Amino acid sequence: MTATVARATTAESPRNLRPSQTLVIDHVTKRYGRDTVVRDLSFTAQPGRVTGFLGPNGAGKSTTMKIMLDLAAADEGRATIGNKRYRDLTDPTRAVGVMLEPNFHPGRSGRDHLRIVALAAGIPPARADEMLESVGLTVAAHRRAGAYSLGMRQRLGLAAALLGDPPVLILDEPGNGLDPEGIRTLRKLLRARAAQGHTVFVSSHLLAEVEHLADDVVVINRGRLVTAGSLADLQHAAAFVRTPAPERLRDVISAAGGSAQIRSGDGLLVRGMDLDTIGETAFHAGIPIHELSPEAGSLEELFLNWTSGDVEEVER
pLDDT digits (tens, 9 = 90+) for 220-253: 999 999 989 999 888 777 889 999 999 999 999 9
Confidence of residue 60 (pLDDT cuts 50, 70, 90): very high
All structural domains of the chain: 19-230 (3.40.50.300), 237-295 (3.30.70.100)
pLDDT at 20: 67
For residues 74 and 216, what is the distance between their CA atoms, to the nearest angstrom? 24
For residues 197 and 215, what is the distance between their CA atoms, to the nearest angstrom? 13
pLDDT digits (tens, 9 = 90+) for 189-202: 999 999 999 999 99
- SS3 of residue 302 by DSSP: helix
For residues 176 and 152, what is the distance between their CA atoms, to the nearest angstrom? 10
Contact assessment for residue 122 and residue 165, using Cβ atoms and an 8 Å cutoff: no
pTM of the model: 0.79
Strands 199-203 and 168-172: parallel
